[in-house]
């Protein structure tokens, strides 16, 4: 499909391809009773992107409170948090010893509610020199080992949950120019060309490794495809998307655009899920989700992934805690939208 742009036939495709069904397990979808506990056999994680804003913290705090209430009300045993990049906007004075680690991470997403690893990836604002890049500080904070913060490298692999894993996660560094030889943020803010080549070789090697888990999920800060203002990423489409198709990646998680999205493309094995509503200022969408969807909304919020050996359930939630969009994806790749 040319540049994989789904046009006005999208709605018809959705009607034809997806078996729309009311999924009781999806919770507070209108007309469906909300379960107060999660599926006992499921492993649950919550995710946010674009959360560590520097100039105002009310929106971040609002989303964090909603996450805590959501987890507590459902008696969710959250087994991981995913921090999808742009973890630190502005200056991080003191680096790994900055007070912001306490006030904007440890206290807002407290271990008393989220007693689990917090897997983080790097966004453009983490690289941004303000005046220093925050990348080394984030790696160092993880290395110190006194926190739930996990970032063993710029790109890495982990299994989820830690015991009896169901998902193989590939965490990537998506900070690269939109076009070769250029950069939208300046050389110092991106991977070097050599690092790009190294990561790409590592990625394919990881895809070739045998895995025992039923699901394969990749996460990177920049979306490959987005209805938001940053749009589609030509280099990621060129370098990563063919591998997602070849190795049948089930799900790609991203942030960067400050909204919540879920995009599907005909005959593409990967669902594209964007959760960038963690606290930074919101911007208007560029593409109406009625033209390319099934879902995109300019809203603060977070997202929930619940997985069993048979299926993944993905939900986007507002900062009021209500479910805005939900779908399941089974082992054979079928997507059912609630």
CB of 128 or CB of 196, closer to Fe ion: 128
Helix H or strand E segment including 140: helix 135-144
Q: Please state the closest distance from residue 132 (CB atom) to Fe ion, in A.
A: 18
Strand partners, 261: 274, 296
Kindly state the smallest distance separating residue 50's Cβ from Fe ion, in Å: 6
Q: Which residue is nearest to Fe ion (CB)?
A: 256
Residue placing its CB nearer to Fe ion in the complex, 85 or 161 = 85
124 binds Fe ion (CB under 5 A): yes
- Interaction between residue 86 and Fe ion (CB under 5 A): yes
Determine, following the binding rule CB under 5 A, whether residue 230 of this chain makes contact with Fe ion: no
Q: Is residue 27 near Fe ion by the rule CB under 5 A?
A: no
Q: Which pairs with CB-CB distance under 8 Å and at least 24 residues apart come from 194-203? A: 195/154, 196/239, 199/154, 199/155, 199/172, 199/173, 200/239, 200/240, 202/155, 203/155, 203/170, 203/172, 203/240, 203/243
Tell me how far, at minimum, the Cβ of 286 lies from Fe ion, in Å. 15
Does residue 278 interact with Fe ion by CB under 5 A?
no
Minimum gap (Å) between residue 119 Cβ and Fe ion: 17
How far apart are the C-alpha atoms of 225 and 297, rounded to whole Å? 15
Residue 255 C-beta: closest distance to Fe ion, Å: 6
123 makes contact with Fe ion (CB under 5 A) = yes
DSSP structure class, residue 70? H
CB-side exposure of 195: number of CA atoms within 13 Å? 15
10 Å CB burial of residue 158 (0-12, 13-18, 19+) is: middle
Binders of Fe ion in range 231-270 (CB under 5 A): 256
Name the segment binding Fe ion (CB under 5 A); options: 86-94, 203-211, 235-243, 277-285: 86-94
Residue ranges that bind Fe ion, judged by CB under 5 A: 86, 123-124, 256
């Amino acid at each position: 499909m040319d540049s994989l742009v789904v046009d006005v036939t999208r709605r018809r495709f959705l009607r034809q391809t997806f078996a729309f069904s009311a999924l009781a397990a999806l919770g507070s979808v209108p007309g469906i009773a909300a379960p107060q506990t999660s599926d006992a056999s499921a492993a649950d994680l919550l995710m946010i992107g674009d959360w560590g804003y520097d100039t105002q913290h009310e929106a971040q705090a609002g989303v964090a409170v909603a996450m805590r209430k959501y987890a507590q009300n459902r008696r969710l045993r959250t087994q991981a948090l995913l921090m999808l990049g742009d973890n630190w906007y502005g200056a991080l004075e003191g680096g790994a010893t900055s007070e912001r680690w306490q006030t904007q991470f440890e206290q807002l997403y407290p271990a008393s509610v989220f007693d689990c690893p917090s897997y983080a990836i790097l966004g453009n604002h983490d690289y941004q020199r303000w005046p220093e890049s925050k990348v080394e500080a984030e790696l160092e904070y993880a290395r110190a080992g006194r926190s739930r913060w996990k970032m063993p490298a710029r790109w890495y692999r982990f299994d989820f949950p830690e015991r009896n894993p169901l998902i193989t996660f590939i965490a990537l560094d998506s900070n690269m120019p939109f076009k070769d030889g250029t950069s939208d943020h300046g050389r110092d803010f991106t991977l070097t060309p050599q690092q790009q080549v190294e990561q790409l070789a590592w990625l394919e090697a990881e895809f070739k490794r045998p895995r025992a888990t039923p699901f394969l999920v990749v996460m990177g800060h920049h979306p490959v495809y987005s209805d938001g203002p940053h749009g589609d990423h030509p280099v990621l489409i060129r370098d990563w998307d063919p591998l997602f198709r070849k190795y049948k990646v089930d799900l790609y998680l991203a942030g960067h655009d400050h909204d919540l999205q879920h995009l599907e493309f005909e005959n593409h094995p990967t669902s594209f899920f964007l959760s960038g509503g963690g606290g930074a200022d919101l911007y208007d969408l560029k593409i109406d989700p009625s033209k390319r969807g099934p879902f995109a909304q300019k809203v603060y919020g977070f997202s929930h992934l619940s997985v069993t050996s048979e299926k993944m359930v993905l939900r986007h939630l507002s900062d009021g805690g209500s479910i805005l969009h939900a779908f399941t994806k089974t082992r054979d790749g079928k997507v059912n939208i609630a």
